[in-house]
C-alpha cells in the first residue's frame, strides 16, 4: 500500500478527501494529516509518505514552499497540489518543482482519484527502474570484487582505477549452524550504513565475502566482533591478512578462505584471524605420554592445559579437518592402550567407550572435540587414580613404579610434578633414602628378575620390557645388582633357554 499524507488548513476539506477516495481500490492508505505547511514538512520527514496532497495556500509555508523544502531535504515522493482559480499563477512554480498534478478546487472526486492512481503508478515504475539499476550496479561491482579476490588482472586494474586509496582486508562470513543462509539478510543490514565496505555473495548457501577498504586492522577486528556479538554467535567469521595494495587482496582472501574451509579446526567461539594460525613445530612433544602422566597423578589442571596446547599444535596452515580428527582419535586410542597396561582392575572399554569414540568423530569443531576429550579423561583420571597417592613424594614414587618401563629422567619427573630438578633430587633422596637413578634401577632389576624367573622370555626381551633398550647396559646393571648375568640367573632360577648365549 502506498502511503498518503493530507496537508490542508481546512479540516472539512481533509475529511471530505478521506471519505470520497476509494483508497484500498487504488492501493493507498492515509497515514497522517497536517493543518499547515510547517506541520506538513515535519510530517513528510517523519512519516515518509509516498504521496502528499497539499493545499497551496496555508498558514506558515505555502504548499509550494513546503514542497521545495521537502525536496531539498531528500523527499522523493509525489506531490499533488490543490488550488483555487485565483491561485493558478502558482502552477508554473509547481511544475518547476516537479509537482505531479495541479487540481482546482472544488475537488472533483474522479479527477483526484485518477491523479492519485497515476502518481502511484509512476512512483512504482520509477522505484522498480531504480531497483533494477541498483541491482545492475551491485552485480557489476560484485563481479569486480570477486575478480579481485581471485587475482583477475583485468578486474584488479579496474578496481585500482576506481579506488586509489590503500590498505585492505578481507573476511568471509557464514552461518555457524546447519541452516543455510539464515543470517544472510542480518549481515547485510548490519553493514548497510557502513562506509568503504563491499559485501558480496560467495555461493548459494549465503556465504558472504567482505572487502574493507582503507580501514585500520584493529577497527576491522572490532566491527566484526561487534557483528558476531550482535548476531549472538550465529555466524562463523574468518579474517584474511591486512594488505597494502590491490594486487595483494587475493592473498588476504586466500587466507580467509583457508580459515573458512578449515572452520572445524579454527572455530572457537569468536572471530578467527591469522593470529590463530600457529607455526608448526618440528619437534612436537609426545602428547599421549605427557597427558597420561598427568592423569596418573590426577593433576587435571595440568592435563587440560596440555590438551589446550595439543589443540593449538593442530592449528597450523596446511592442516586439514581430517588430519586433525585423526590426531585427536589417535591420542585417545593411545591413552586407552596405556590404561590397558596400567589399570588391571578395570576394563578400558568401560572407561573410554566405543560410543564415545564414535561421537568424537562427529564433533562439529576441533575446540569442541578437545573439550569432550578433556571431560572424559578427567573422569577416567578420577576413577582410576584419584585415591592412589597421598603426599607429593608418594605420587612421584607411584609414578615411577607404574612407568619404570619408559624412558624416565629426573628432569622429566620435575617437569610433570612442577619441581626444580635439583630440588626434586634432594627431596626424593630424603624420602626414599636413595638417589633417583639407583631407585629406578632397583625397581627395574626387581621386575627383570621376576620376568626371567616366571616368564619364558629372552634376555633382550626382558631388557626392553623393564626400560633398558641397550642390552649391554642392562647386562652390566643386572650383574652389578645380583652378582650374576641375566642369562645365568634365568638358567638357575627359571626355565632357561638352550639357544640363548651371553654376548
Q: What is the pLDDT of residues 373-401, one digit of tens each?
A: 999 999 988 888 776 545 678 778 888 88
| Alpha carbon of residue 459 to chain centroid | 56
**Cell numbers that stand for 394 in this block:** 608418594
Q: What is the structure's pLDDT at 503?
A: 45
CB 476 within 8 A of CB 465: no
CB 61 within 8 A of CB 41: yes
**Cell numbers that stand for 65 in this block:** 514552499
Q: What is the structure's pLDDT at 280?
A: 72
Reference 446, options 465, 425, 422; nearest CA is 465
**Burial of 292 by CB count in 10 Å (0-12 exposed, 13-18 middle, 19+ buried)?**
buried
Q: How far apart are CA 138 and CA 147, in angstroms?
A: 14
Question: Is the model's pTM score more than 0.85?
Answer: no
**Cell numbers that stand for 319 in this block:** 592442516
Reference 148, options 125, 170, 178; nearest CA is 170
**Cell numbers that stand for 158 in this block:** 579496474
CB 444 within 8 A of CB 402: no
Q: Which residue has the cell 496532497?
A: 53
Q: Where on the phi/psi map is residue 150: left (φ > 0), alpha (ψ -120 to 50), or beta? A: alpha
Please state whether beta strands 2-7 and 78-83 pair in parallel, antiparallel, or not at all (unpaired).
Answer: unpaired
Please state whether beta strands 78-83 and 51-55 pair in parallel, antiparallel, or not at all (unpaired).
Answer: parallel
153-275 CATH fold: Alpha-Beta Plaits (3.30.70)
392-493 CATH fold: Arc Repressor Mutant, subunit A (1.10.10)
**Burial of 492 by CB count in 10 Å (0-12 exposed, 13-18 middle, 19+ buried)?**
exposed
What is the C-alpha radius of gyration for the chain, rounded to an integer number of angstroms? Answer: 40
Task: Report the chain's terminal Cα–Cα distance, integer Å.
Answer: 102
**Cell numbers that stand for 222 in this block:** 572490532
Q: What is the structure's pLDDT at 89?
A: 61
**Burial of 54 by CB count in 10 Å (0-12 exposed, 13-18 middle, 19+ buried)?**
buried
Q: What is the structure's pLDDT at 498?
A: 39
pLDDT < 50 positions in the chain: 389, 496-499, 502-503
For the residues of 97-114, what is the DSSP string, one character each? TT-SEEEESSPPHHHHHH
Q: What CATH number was assigned to the domain covering residues 2-125?
A: 3.40.50.2300
Q: What is the structure's pLDDT at 162?
A: 84
Q: What is the structure's pLDDT at 254?
A: 94
- What confidence tens digit (pLDDT) does each residue in 45-81 have? 999 999 999 998 888 898 989 999 999 998 989 999 9
Amino acid at each position: 500500500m502506498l502511503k498518503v499524507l493530507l496537508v490542508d488548513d481546512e479540516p472539512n476539506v481533509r475529511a471530505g478527501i478521506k471519505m470520497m477516495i476509494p483508497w484500498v481500490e487504488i492501493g493507498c492508505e492515509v497515514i497522517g494529516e497536517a493543518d499547515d505547511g510547517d506541520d506538513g514538512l515535519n510530517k513528510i520527514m517523519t512519516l515518509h509518505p509516498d504521496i502528499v496532497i497539499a493545499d497551496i495556500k496555508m498558514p506558515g509555508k505555502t504548499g509550494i514552499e513546503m514542497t521545495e523544502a521537502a525536496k531539498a531535504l531528500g523527499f522523493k515522493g509525489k506531490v499533488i497540489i490543490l488550488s483555487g482559480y485565483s491561485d493558478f499563477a502558482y502552477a508554473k512554480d509547481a511544475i518547476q518543482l516537479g509537482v505531479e498534478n495541479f487540481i482546482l478546487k472544488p475537488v472533483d472526486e474522479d479527477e483526484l482519484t485518477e491523479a492519485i492512481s497515476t502518481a502511484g503508478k509512476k512512483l512504482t515504475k520509477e522505484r522498480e527502474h531504480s531497483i533494477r539499476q541498483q541491482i545492475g550496479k551491485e552485480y557489476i561491482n560484485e563481479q569486480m570484487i570477486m575478480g579481485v579476490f581471485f587475482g583477475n588482472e583485468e578486474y584488479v586494474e579496474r578496481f585500482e582505477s576506481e579506488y586509489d586509496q590503500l590498505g585492505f582486508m578481507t573476511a568471509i562470513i557464514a552461518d555457524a549452524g546447519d541452516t543455510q543462509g539464515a543470517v544472510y539478510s542480518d549481515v547485510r543490514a548490519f553493514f548497510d550504513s557502513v562506509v568503504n565496505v563491499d559485501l558480496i555473495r560467495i555461493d548459494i548457501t549465503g556465504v558472504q565475502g567482505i572487502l574493507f577498504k582503507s580501514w585500520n586492522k584493529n577497527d576491522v577486528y572490532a566491527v566484526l566482533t561487534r557483528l558476531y556479538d550482535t548476531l549472538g554467535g550465529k555466524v562463523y567469521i574468518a579474517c584474511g591478512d591486512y594488505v597494502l595494495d590491490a594486487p595483494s587482496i587475493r592473498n588476504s582472501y586466500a587466507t580467509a578462505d583457508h580459515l573458512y574451509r578449515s572452520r572445524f579446526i579454527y572455530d572457537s567461539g569468536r572471530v578467527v584471524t591469522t593470529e590463530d594460525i600457529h607455526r608448526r613445530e618440528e619437534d612436537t612433544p609426545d602428547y599421549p605420554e605427557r597427558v597420561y602422566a598427568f592423569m596418573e597423578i590426577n593433576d587435571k589442571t595440568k592435563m587440560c592445559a596440555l590438551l589446550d596446547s595439543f589443540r593449538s599444535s593442530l592449528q597450523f596452515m596446511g592442516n586439514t579437518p581430517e588430519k586433525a580428527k585423526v590426531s585427536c582419535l589417535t591420542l585417545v586410542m593411545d591413552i586407552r592402550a596405556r590404561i590397558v597396561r596400567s589399570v588391571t582392575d578395570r576394563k578400558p572399554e568401560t572407561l573410554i567407550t566405543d560410543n564415545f569414540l564414535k561421537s568424537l568423530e562427529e564433533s562439529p569443531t576441533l575446540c569442541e572435540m578437545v573439550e569432550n576429550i578433556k571431560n572424559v579423561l578427567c573422569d577416567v583420571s578420577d576413577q582410576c587414580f584419584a585415591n592412589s597417592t597421598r603426599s607429593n613424594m608418594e605420587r612421584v614414587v607411584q609414578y615411577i613404579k607404574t612407568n619404570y618401563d619408559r624412558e624416565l629422567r629426573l628432569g622429566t619427573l620435575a617437569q610433570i610434578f612442577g619441581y626444580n630438578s635439583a630440588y626434586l633430587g634432594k627431596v626424593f633422596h630424603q624420602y626414599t633414602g636413595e638417589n633417583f637413578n639407583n631407585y629406578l634401577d632397583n625397581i627395574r632389576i626387581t621386575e627383570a628378575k621376576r620376568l626371567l624367573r616366571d616368564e619364558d622370555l629372552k634376555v633382550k626381551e626382558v631388557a626392553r620390557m623393564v626400560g633398558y633398550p641397550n642390552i649391554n647396559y642392562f647386562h652390566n646393571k643386572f650383574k652389578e645388582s645380583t652378582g650374576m648375568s641375566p642369562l645365568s640367573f634365568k638358567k638357575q632360577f627359571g626355565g632357561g633357554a638352550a639357544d640363548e648365549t651371553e654376548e
